[in-house]
Amino acid sequence: MMQNISTSNHDPVGWHGTTILSVRRGHSVCMAGDGQVTLGQTVIKGTARKVRRIGTGLVLAGFAGATADAFTLLERLEAKLERYPNKLERACVELAKDWRTDRYLRRLEAMMAVADKDHSYTLTGNGDVLEPDDGIIAIGSGGNYALSAARALIDIEAMTPEDIARKAMKIAGDICVYTNYSLTVETL
C-alpha cells in the first residue's frame, strides 16, 4: 500500500526548509535567515533571501513557508505599515485579523517574524501576534535549534545581537538538514 506523504493539503510536493532568527537586546535587533530551499530531499536553491527590510526600511521581516504565500503576506504587511506608520503592533494586529478572517488569506501557509527598534513579533495564520518575553524569535524547520542556541548565548554580554544570531544560525545549520550557512542578516 502506497502512502501519500506531504506536509499539507496545500503543499503536495513537499517544499521544506527555512530558519529565521531574530535576536533583540535593548533597542538593537538582528534578524537572520538561511538561504536553503528544498523540494523533498533535493536542494533547489541555496541563496534565497528570506529576510528583508520593509516599509521605510525601519522594519525587518523574515518568512518561513510557501514563498508565494509569504510574499503576499509581506505585501499586505507593507500596506498596513503605510496605513499605520510607526505602529508595527497595530499593523501586525490588522494583518493577523485579515489573515484569519479573509477566505483567500486563510489558505496562505507561511509564518512571519517582524521587528522594529522597539518590538518583535511572530505572526501566524491562526491570528497570533506574539511578542517574546526574552526578545528572541525563531521560525521554520530549524527554528527550535536556532532558538535554543540563541537562548544559551543571550547572557554573554560581549556578544551583540548579530553575533548571537550568526552563531545560533551556524548551530542550527549544523543540526537541521533544511538549514544552510548562506545567511541574510539585517540589523537595526
Q: What is the pLDDT of residues 168-180, one digit of tens each?
A: 999 999 999 989 9
- Tracing cell 510557501 back to the chain, one arrives at 66
Q: How far apart are CA 28 and CA 43, in angstroms?
A: 33
Give CA–CA dist 15/73, Å, rounded.
18
The predicted pLDDT at position 15 comes to 43
Distance between CA atoms of 80 and 91, rounded to whole angstroms? 5
Domain boundaries, the chain: 15-169
Residue 49 burial (CB < 10 Å; 0-12/13-18/19+)? exposed
CATH number belonging to domain 15-169:
3.60.20.10
pLDDT digits (tens, 9 = 90+) for 84-115: 999 999 999 999 888 877 776 667 677 899 99
Which residues are identified as catalytic?
Answer: 18
What phi and psi, each to the nearest 5 degrees, are found at residue 138? -145, 135
Instruction: List the beta strands (DSSP E) in 67-118.
Output: 110-115
Percent of the chain, pLDDT > 90? 62
Total-model pTM: 0.87
